[in-house]
């Protein structure tokens, strides 16, 4: 089913690349959150996470519909980004519930910052879609609350969780580099580019 977004955009190939990367991120987020929910040590934690995979797959479908609107096949648009994103998740695979929360908070935050920067350089309908998909569903606040509570009751956890966050940050930057070339094409394709990350200016 079509999402209803207008297909009249500059350089559709560049936008398809950008949306393909984001779509695969949402698809892997669906899988990851389902796995994280099963590691939850309490029923309340499991229940809190159980609805988020549904949100992620809903985001994926919005992006897939937009890719179809642009005349492409979602699976083909996502394919170039599978190795980088799968590699990131393999390298930062959590062994506990709390590690999964820290990885999600750090990794997802980096990816969201990246896409929000790029969204400034694309057409309004695509920008609206990207920002809709990136809207926080409450998972960040939940992760912070759970991790803080765990460290308060067991301070020895802090060092390990900091290490997990650092690993996710390093892996996230490497994963972003695999998307950046195609994102630059989307940036250059727009008729009125604004100063931003590619000019080295601060946010």
The DSSP result for 106-163, as a single string, is HHHHHHHHHHHHHHTTS-HHHHHHHHHHHS--SHHHHHHHHHHHHHHH-TTHHHHHHH
User: What pLDDT score does 179 carry?
Assistant: 47
- The DSSP secondary-structure symbol of 51 reads T
Q: Domain residues for 184?
A: 12-189
Q: CATH number of the domain at 180, please.
A: 1.20.1260.10
- For residues 129 and 119, give the distance between their C-alpha atoms in angstroms, rounded to a whole number: 9
Helices (H) and strands (E) in the chain, counts: 9, 0
Asked whether residue 203 is domain-assigned, the answer is no
Higher-confidence position of 183 and 19: 19
Asked whether residue 93 is domain-assigned, the answer is yes
Higher-confidence position of 180 and 41: 41
Number of domains in the chain: 1
Mean pLDDT of 93-107: 85
Looking at the whole model, is its pTM more than 0.75?
Answer: no
Asked if pLDDT for residue 44 goes beyond 50, the answer is yes
Asked whether residue 157 is domain-assigned, the answer is yes
Closest CA to 180 of 107, 109, 113: 113
């Amino acid at each position: 089913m079509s999402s209803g977004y207008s297909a009249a955009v500059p350089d559709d190939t560049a936008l398809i690349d950008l949306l393909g990367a984001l779509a695969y991120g949402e698809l892997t987020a669906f899988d990851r959150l389902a796995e994280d929910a099963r590691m939850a040590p309490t029923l309340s934690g499991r229940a809190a996470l159980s609805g988020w995979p549904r949100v992620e797959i809903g985001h994926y479908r919005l992006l897939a519909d937009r890719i179809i609107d642009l005349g492409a096949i979602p699976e083909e648009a996502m394919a170039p980004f599978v190795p980088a994103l799968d590699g990131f998740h393999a390298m930062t695979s959590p062994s506990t519930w709390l590690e999964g929360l820290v990885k999600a908070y750090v990794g997802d935050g980096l990816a969201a910052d990246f896409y929000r920067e790029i969204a400034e350089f694309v057409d309004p309908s695509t920008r609206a879609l990207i920002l809709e998909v990136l809207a926080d569903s409450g998972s960040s606040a939940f992760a912070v609350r759970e991790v803080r509570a765990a460290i308060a009751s067991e301070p020895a956890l802090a060092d390990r969780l900091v290490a997990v966050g650092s690993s996710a940050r390093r892996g996230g930057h490497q994963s972003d580099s695999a998307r950046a070339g195609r994102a630059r094409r989307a940036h250059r394709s727009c008729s009125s580019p604004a100063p931003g990350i590619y000019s080295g200016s601060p946010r």
